[in-house]
Amino acid sequence: MKYDFTYYNPTRIHFGKESLSELKGELGLYGDNVLLMYGKGSVKRTGIYDKVNDILSACGKRVTELGGIKPNPSYSQVLEGARLVRENGIDLILAVGGGSVIDCAKAVSVAAYCDGDAWTKYWIDFEEPTGRIVPVGSVLTMAGTGSEMNGGSVITNEEVMLKNGRVFPSSVYPKFSILNPEFTYSVPEYQMVSGIFDTMSHLMEQYFSGDDDNVTDYLLEGLMRSLIVSAEKALENPNDYEARSNIMWAATMGLNTVTGVSKTQDWEVHMIEHQIGAYTDCAHGIGLGVISVPYYKYIYKYGIKKFVRFAHNVFDIEISTVSDDETALKGIAALGDFIKKLGIPDNLRAIGVTEEMLKPIADSCVTGGGYYEMRAEDILKVLEAAF
Ligand code: NZQ
Ligand code: ZN
């Protein structure tokens, strides 16, 4: 461990088949006015909406609803939620859904009493929240983003074609999150693999940085191995409780900040995907899956030791006596095989990217990077290789 850190995570997690029964106790900690946020309708089809509403009524809550939150939530929906919070004196925002609903709930929480334009303040200038922060709680219905236990909030501003993410301080993290793996059984396979690869990408983005002997890297390798095993089981049987619960907890652990401790981290794949998402509205994890192999092939030489370790410790590839390049490339190929098994396409055209979009996407990505600092021209080469 090389870098100093302070670690704190305030989200209380209730995990398991009976975890929704903990909602009553959590609601007791807040006032009567609840803003119930959910997505485009899955919670109504699965009955989770009714179950949550029954608990809200039994607790005597006055409920204001904001449904229809879209995947890749938009800034206009944030403003709508902020207005509802102010008009109804909301005491708690309860997000029932996947990462999009929870991200949007956090955005509403800080936008409601924001002094000035929230988009500029929080997603362009990345300022810390200054106004009142309305507490958020969540009932998670889809595993992947880790939003249930972090401060991340990724919002798309359609007017300016930007999908920007940021991490808010712990005061904005959900106060509690309820994780019942059975709630994820109904997630369509395409969304399930999107979530699985999103988690894999979070683990890799944190792993591919630094070469110190860091306990976090061992943790990340274990999570990646578990995720790969459970993904195969869940593809075979989506109702495999053990597999779905491993996936759900790996996703939470994968971005609840513990797996980033004392790491410089990369996040370039995410920066590129966010702009692909702004142009195509593709599922986040699918976009990540399409560009990961071309990206890692582009940068592996700059972090070769780690790519050799990845091949050996995550995919059990024997270390070549001939060259590190051989081992590293076998590891990246094994990652490609995993992506293929998930059924994620291997080209950008399949997710709606056109040739004309490549340059604008490359030019609008926020760059940074881990082993190699990507510039717009490097990103363009990666996009061309993925096209
Ligand atoms: O909208 P509904 O009808 O609810 O359907 C959703 C949506 O179509 C459906 N779904 C969710 N739970 C379901 C279900 N369908 C059936 N049964 C269920 N139990 O799944 C679809 C996708 O949902 P969404 O919430 O968009 O998926 P996800 O959890 O992958 O969230 C993606 C968003 O999170 C951001 C992404 O950029 C994207 O905008 N991220 C947030 C992060 C964070 N907060 O830390 C980090 C991530 O890297 C990511 O960027
Ligand atoms: Zn992600």
Q: CB under 8 Å to 342, separation ≥6 — which residues?
A: 193, 196, 197, 231, 235, 289
- This prediction has a pTM of 0.97
Query: What whole-number distance in Å separates Cα of residue 9 and Cα of residue 180?
Result: 20
Burial class (CB in 10 A: 0-12, 13-18, 19+), 7: exposed
> Which ligand has the minimum distance to the alpha carbon of residue 163?
1
Query: Looking at residue 2, what is its pLDDT?
Result: 85
Query: pLDDT tens digits for the chain (387 residues)?
Result: 888 999 999 999 999 999 999 999 999 999 999 999 999 999 999 999 999 999 999 999 999 999 999 999 999 999 999 999 999 999 999 999 999 999 999 999 999 999 999 999 999 999 999 899 999 999 999 999 999 999 999 999 999 988 899 999 999 999 999 999 999 999 999 999 999 999 999 999 999 999 899 999 999 999 999 999 999 999 999 999 999 999 999 999 999 999 999 999 999 999 999 999 999 999 999 999 999 999 999 999 999 999 999 999 999 999 999 999 999 999 999 999 999 999 999 999 999 999 999 999 999 987 777 899 999 999 999 999 999
* Alpha carbon distance 100, 277 (integer Å): 13
Q: Which of 206, 188, 191, 199 is nearest to 226 (CA)?
A: 199
State the burial class of residue 39 (Cβ atoms within 10 Å of its Cβ: 0-12, 13-18, 19+). buried
Q: Is 324 exposed, middle or buried (0-12, 13-18, 19+ CB in 10 A)?
A: middle
Q: What's the alpha-carbon Rg for the chain, to the nearest Å?
A: 20
Beta-carbon contacts of 61 under 8 Å, excluding residues fewer than 6 positions away, are: 27, 32, 33, 34
Q: Tell me the domains of the chain and their CATH numbers.
A: 12-183 (3.40.50.1970), 188-386 (1.20.1090.10)
Residue 101: predicted pLDDT: 98
Q: Give 33's strand partners.
A: 62
pLDDT at 373: 92
* Closest C-alpha residue for ligand 1 atom 33: 100
Q: How far is CA 45 from CA 40, 50, 324, in A?
A: 10, 10, 51
Find the DSSP H helices in 47-152. Answer: 48-58, 75-87, 99-111, 118
Helices 99-111, 75-87: inter-axial angle, 10-degree rounding: 60
Among candidate residues 254, 30, 223, 58, the one with its CA nearest the CA of residue 150: 254
- Nearest-CA residue for atom 14 of ligand 1: 187
Q: What is the pLDDT of residue 161?
A: 86
CA distance 375 to 377: 5
CB atoms within 10 A of CB 53: 16
Q: Is the CB of 46 under 6 A from ligand 1?
A: yes
- Which helix (H) or strand (E) is 163 found in, with range? strand 162-167
pLDDT value for 58:
98
State the distance from the centre of ligand 1 to the C-alpha of 1, rounded, in angstroms: 33
Task: Please count the residues of the chain.
Answer: 387
Atom of ligand 1 minimally distant from the CA of 288: 48
Kindly state the tokens that stand for 225.
Answer: 């191995």
Q: Closest ligand to 139 CA? A: 1
Distance 282 CA to ligand 2 centre (A): 13
pLDDT of residue 6: 93
